[in-house]
Amino acid sequence: MPVGSQATVKSLSPDDLREIGCDIILCNAYHLYLRPGVETVQRAGGLHRFMSWDRAILTDSGGFQVFSLAPLRKINDEGVVFRSHIDGSEHHLTPEKAIGNQEELGADIIMALDDVPSGTADSARVTEAVQRTHRWAERCLAAQRRSDQLLFAIVQGGGDLVLRKLSARTLAAMDFPGYAVGGLSVGEPKELMYSVLEETVPLLPAGRPRYLMGVGSPEDLVEGVWRGVDMFDCVLPTRVARNGAVYTLQGRRNVRRAEFKVQDGPLDPDCDCYTCRTFSASYVHHLFRCEELLAYRLATIHNLSFVQRLMKRIRDAIVLGTFESFRDDFHRLYKPTDETVRLAQKRTRTVGSSRGAGDDAL
């Protein structure tokens, strides 16, 4: 799912997304609650009509965004009181209000409010968060009034595999239509994330969607599916696009680099997206060097097209029974970002989000 936190995927129109092949996008109830306000969206006929998107929408409850604003919020079993990162105004979010907001927005899939501990939280805090997440999940189920929306629960537990198993089993017993694994990709090593998935996903009900929240690097999509995940979302493909990074089957490349100045062919000869069909890498390089707005749109189209094409190849390989060899071939070609660099960047972004940085950080 491309991320359109504020009812738009940055730099792209709904027509762009449809041409890329996106069938579902993520919007964020936290951002839409603060601006333009749930009532405004409801008066416009709901989120689909407001943003002219005729395909599926999933809204995140805002739990991660609220809890990433650690200096600006107070939490207890009733809910959370937080201050807006926009104007400092005070707001109170409960499980009931989180469900009410998402019902009024009118998304197709909505998320339960969860308690998201930081990646550095101690055992007591993670245990508290898991227990509170379970209580809030029950309240979210009781608060739901619309039968035309699928409500997903969110498994928590940090890197504690015992707590993760407890959370998965507890929430599975509540019989939600779908389940998410949250609280990952917050600065932990990839191997820990993979271990959590291996222990958690098999405990979730078969035949119901399993959603890994906030994860979207190509290697993690492949490894997540290998471990049983069905759905993903992440700002990564669009964020790195605006910084000049484009995906290829060999890994990420920085189109700002001098080598692209003389590349007459497309960004990626294996890609058939609008950008690669229409423009040379040299032209896209030129746009970035001149800081032209079109650069961001073209790179974003390319990266989202790459991800959608990768997911289609994964689905096709599963149907053909060749996913294991597909996975091996992918890893043989694709060079991921250095793990040390990735963790350092993640820590920097986490600090920025806790200080109320821009919406991509949130």
Q: What is the pLDDT of residue 47?
A: 98
The whole-model pTM stands at: 0.94
- Stated as kind and residue range, the H or E segment containing 169 is helix 161-172
Q: What is the pLDDT of residue 342?
A: 62
The conformational region for residue 211 under phi > 0 = left, psi -120 to 50 = alpha, else beta, is beta
Q: Which residues are catalytic?
A: 60, 233
341 has a pLDDT exceeding 80: no
Band of residue 65 on the pLDDT scale cut at 50, 70, 90: confident
Long-range contacts at 286-289 (CB < 8 A, ≥ 24 apart): 286/261, 288/244, 288/255, 288/256, 289/256
Band of residue 101 on the pLDDT scale cut at 50, 70, 90: very high
The answer to whether 360 and 239 are in contact (CB under 8 A) is yes
Which tokens is 148 given?
Answer: 């035309």
Q: What is the pLDDT of residue 345?
A: 66
Q: What is the pLDDT of residue 350?
A: 52
Band of residue 330 on the pLDDT scale cut at 50, 70, 90: very high
Question: What integer best gives the mean pLDDT of the chain?
Answer: 93
Q: For 192-211, how does the pLDDT look when each residue is reduced to its tens digit (9 = 90+)?
A: 999 999 999 999 999 999 99
Q: What is the pLDDT of residue 362?
A: 41
Span 271-293, mean pLDDT? 98
Q: What is the pLDDT of residue 359?
A: 38
Q: What is the pLDDT of residue 355?
A: 30
Q: How far apart are CA 221 and CA 197, in angstroms?
A: 12
Give the number of other CB atoms < 10 A from CB of residue 100.
Answer: 15
Q: How far apart are CA 244 and CA 256, in angstroms?
A: 6
- Stated as kind and residue range, the H or E segment containing 232 is strand 231-232
The domains of the chain, with CATH numbers, are 14-217+344-354 (3.20.20.105), 239-336 (no CATH)
Of 25, 8, 17, 22, the closest CA to residue 60 belongs to 25
Q: What is the pLDDT of residue 338?
A: 82
Q: Does the N-terminal peptide bond of residue 36 adopt cis geometry, omega within 30 degrees of 0?
A: yes
Band of residue 43 on the pLDDT scale cut at 50, 70, 90: very high
